[in-house]
Amino acid sequence: MNWTAVASIYRFEMARFFRTLAQSFISPVLSTSLYFVVFGAAIGSRIDQVEGVAYGAFIVPGLIMLSVITQGISNASFGIYFPKFIGTVYELLSAPVSFLEIVLGYVGAAATKALFIGMVILATAHLFVDLTILHPLAMLLFLVLTCVSFALLGFIIGIWAKNFEQLQLVPLLIITPLIFLGGSFYSVSMLPPVWQTITMFNPVVYLISGFRWSFFGVADVPIGLSLMAIALFTGICLAVIGWIFKTGWRLRS
């Protein structure tokens, strides 16, 4: 393993993040505050508790997942798309660096950025609601796995995209609706039986459910299924990336 190459890619990607640290820090804080004003104050005044948890606290895991997933995808997709766009990806492909080292550098940096945003939002949430994390280690595990898995998905999107419009297509039209319909701001048990069944086909439900369990000990699906869903999703993304580098799809053309 060429750790020097991995560290070089990682440092390069992180440097771009730190150049806009104020924007990266202020944006999630403002967005989280607005969500708490709209959902926590306006809707929370009408909904006292959900599954024994105050509504303002109940939406915190969903808010974190919303930002972590979108940030992981956007950072990883742009990170690999930009070298494709300006042509420097060919220098990377011709260098003595394996595909695993390339993925570790880009995905590791994107996951780190998403993890940072998630911790910022968690800290911001403490300013609005009383929050107790029942299983902090499980919370951190779910958070890291989500950052890594969706950074892998973003890496695939960045390779697939041929222009900046396509780069935003999947996150806006597919991922964001799945997050909002995945129980971010409500419990799946609040839905009619038919919609509960349909919702179970949404993979994001398992991520949010497991993450919420680590906070409050309540979940829409068993915790084991949540871990299996993340592991399966991560494995599929790794297999797809391996196939991409093996065949050169959208990289060498």
Tokens, residue 215: 């906070």
Find the helix or strand (DSSP H, E) in which 59 lies. none
User: Distance between alpha carbon 148 and the CA centroid of its chain, in Å?
Assistant: 8
Q: What one-letter code names the amino acid at 235?
A: G
pLDDT at 218: 93
pLDDT at 41: 67
Question: Which residue positions in the chain have pLDDT lower than 50?
Answer: none
- Start-to-end CA distance of the chain, whole Å, equals 27
User: Distance between alpha carbon 3 and the CA centroid of its chain, in Å?
Assistant: 25
Q: What is the DSSP letter of 190?
A: G
* Integer Cα distance of 85 and 198 in angstroms: 39
**What does each C-alpha distance from 133 to 47, 58, 115, 137, 197 come to in angstroms?**
22, 12, 17, 9, 29
pLDDT at 115: 95
Give, in degrees to the nearest 5, the angle at Cα 215 between 47 and 44: 15
- Tens digit of pLDDT for each residue in 59-106? 999 999 999 999 999 999 999 999 988 888 888 888 888 889 999 999
Give, in degrees to the nearest 5, the angle at Cα 41 between 39 and 42: 70
pLDDT at 28: 75
